[in-house]
Amino acid sequence: MPKMNMARALNLALKQNLASDPTVVVMGEDVGVDGGVFRITKGLLEEFGPKRVMDSPLAEAGIIGTAVGMAAAGLKPVAEIQFSGFTYQAFHQIEQNMARLHNRSRGRYKVQMVMRAPYGGGIRAVEHHSESREAYWAHTPGLKVVIPSGPRLARSLLHAAIHDPDPVIFYEPKAIYRAFKEEVPEEPEAFEIGKARVVRVGSDITLIAYGAMIRPTLEAADDLEETHGIRAEVIDLISIWPMDTETLAASVSKTGRAVVVHEGPRSCGIGAEVVARINESAFAHLEAPVARVTGYDIHFPFFQVERFYLPDSEAVVESALEAVNY
């Protein structure tokens, strides 16, 4: 199996779907000639031509609104918003049309489309290039929201998102686009949307994270075991909505303790939903309050100090120890 980074794996998913399905189109700012600012769409214009790979005018609402129209007309658009911080320019089209057209038309028009956007901190970027607001979309009925944490998963998850008959928000942790390589099979594979994955088995505490936070969380799990003899189970949430309550419940029922980790602001964030679901499904097994290690309820700081804002493995370890010693 070839080894590749997440940027290449995403490119592979797009390329294979463009090749296998003539109704798949790619659109967005600079996705054509430029290949996207993160080069995720590199080479696609040359291979599939300007009717399938469309450089859009610089207008996010226009991109999402026209993509929904294309979906209504039977295409499967994969629309790129250059940074998740620019999705606010398209907020109304996402809420009013992307999330609603299937329901509004009582099933007549499917909105089989994907909105891809890089999200999250850690790349020393200017304002509006680092935030994590997946909670907006998880809070919007009618959408699905997924986030990969590595190359092989990114490819299979994007493949699944393109094949899903409903609109999918696909957030890409930009900090790890090129951070590491994994073996990715040539043959397409699909990761089922709605499922989480246990990425490390443990018995003493459950650590729940997704996206770029998986790596510090796994480091924390190593440290907990090596330094403190605590065996942590780590769950990669992957599907933000729908959320795999079953996997969360099974793990917490076993461990009795949990810490949830994400970059986005704490209040009303994804962590709050995870806590609520654990409360509803595994309350009787809990030995300690479920802790949240998250970003703060502030705007993402300028990059000279972003490392202090972002959750790190030490913060996860500290929270886990508190839960274990509760």
Partner 1 sequence: MPRKTIVPENTVDELSILDEEGRADAELDPKMDRDSLLKVYQAMVKARTLDDRMITMQRQGQMGTFAPGRGQEAAQIGSVYSLRPTDWFAPSYRSFGAQMWRGWAIDQLMMLWDGYFEGFDLPEGINDLPFSIVIGCHVPLATGVAMAQTCQGTDSVVLTNFGDGASSEGDVSESLNFAAVHNAPIVFICENNGYAISLPFEKQTKIKSIAHRAPAFGMPGMRVDGNDILAMVSATKEAIDRARSGGGPTLIEAVTFRMEMHTTADDPTVYRADNEVARWTARDPISRFEKYLLASGVLDASIKTRIASDVDEEIRLGREKFKQRAKPNAQEVFDYMYAADMPPELKAQKNEYLRKLAARLAGKKLTPV
On the question of a cis peptide bond just before residue 242, with omega within 30 degrees of 0, the verdict is yes
Instruction: In whole angstroms, give the CA distance from residue 221 to residue 49.
Output: 47
Instruction: Give SS3 for 100.
Output: coil
Does 305 interact with partner 1 (rule: CB under 8 A)? no
Catalytic choice (102, 129, 159, 262)? 129
Instruction: In whole angstroms, give the CA distance from residue 164 to residue 112.
Output: 7
Question: In this structure, are residues 15 and 188 in contact, taking their beta carbons and an 8 Å threshold?
Answer: no
Q: Is 139 an annotated catalytic residue?
A: no
Does 107 interact with partner 1 (rule: CB under 8 A)? yes
Does 75 interact with partner 1 (rule: CB under 8 A)? yes
Q: Which is nearer to partner 1, 36 or 167 (CB)?
A: 167
Residue with tokens 């609104």: 65
Using CA of residue 296, residue 300, residue 302, residue 307, what is the dihedral sign?
A: positive
Q: Binding partner 1 by CB under 8 A: which of 86, 109, 136, 303? A: 109
Site for partner 1 in 86-105 (CB under 8 A): 92-93, 96-97, 100-105
In the complex, minimum distance from the CB of residue 214 to partner 1, in angstroms, rounded to a whole number? 23
Does 33 interact with partner 1 (rule: CB under 8 A)? no
Tokens of 33: 């000639």
Burial zone of 78 (CB within 10 Å; 0-12 exposed, 13-18 middle, 19+ buried): buried
Q: Binding partner 1 by CB under 8 A: which of 224, 243, 275, 324? A: 243
In the complex, minimum distance from the CB of residue 212 to partner 1, in angstroms, rounded to a whole number? 25
What's CA 30's distance to the chain center, in Å?
22
Q: Which is nearer to partner 1, 96 or 253 (CB)?
A: 96
Q: Binding partner 1 by CB under 8 A: which of 62, 122, 188, 301? A: 62
Does 279 interact with partner 1 (rule: CB under 8 A)? no
Q: Binding partner 1 by CB under 8 A: which of 28, 32, 85, 142? A: 142
Does 141 interact with partner 1 (rule: CB under 8 A)? yes
- The kind and range of the H/E element at 262 are strand 258-265
Angle at 173 between CA 275 and CA 70, to 5 degrees: 100
Among 236, 179, 184, which Cα is nearest to 38's?
179
Instruction: In whole angstroms, give the CA distance from residue 174 to residue 237.
Output: 17
Q: Binding partner 1 by CB under 8 A: which of 68, 196, 212, 224? A: 68
Site for partner 1 in 152-211 (CB under 8 A): 164-166, 194
Q: Binding partner 1 by CB under 8 A: which of 8, 15, 52, 292? A: 52
Question: In this structure, are residues 169 and 140 in contact, taking their beta carbons and an 8 Å threshold?
Answer: no
Q: Binding partner 1 by CB under 8 A: which of 39, 42, 61, 136? A: 61
Q: Binding partner 1 by CB under 8 A: which of 1, 33, 47, 74? A: 74
Does 249 interact with partner 1 (rule: CB under 8 A)? no
Where are the extended beta strands (E) located within 31-123?
53-55, 76-80, 114-119
Q: Amino acid identity of 266?
A: R
- Residues within the interface to partner 1 (CB under 8 A): 25, 51-52, 54, 56-57, 59, 61-62, 64-75, 77, 92-93, 96-97, 100-112, 141-142, 144, 164-166, 194, 241-243, 245-246
Residues acting as catalytic residues: 129
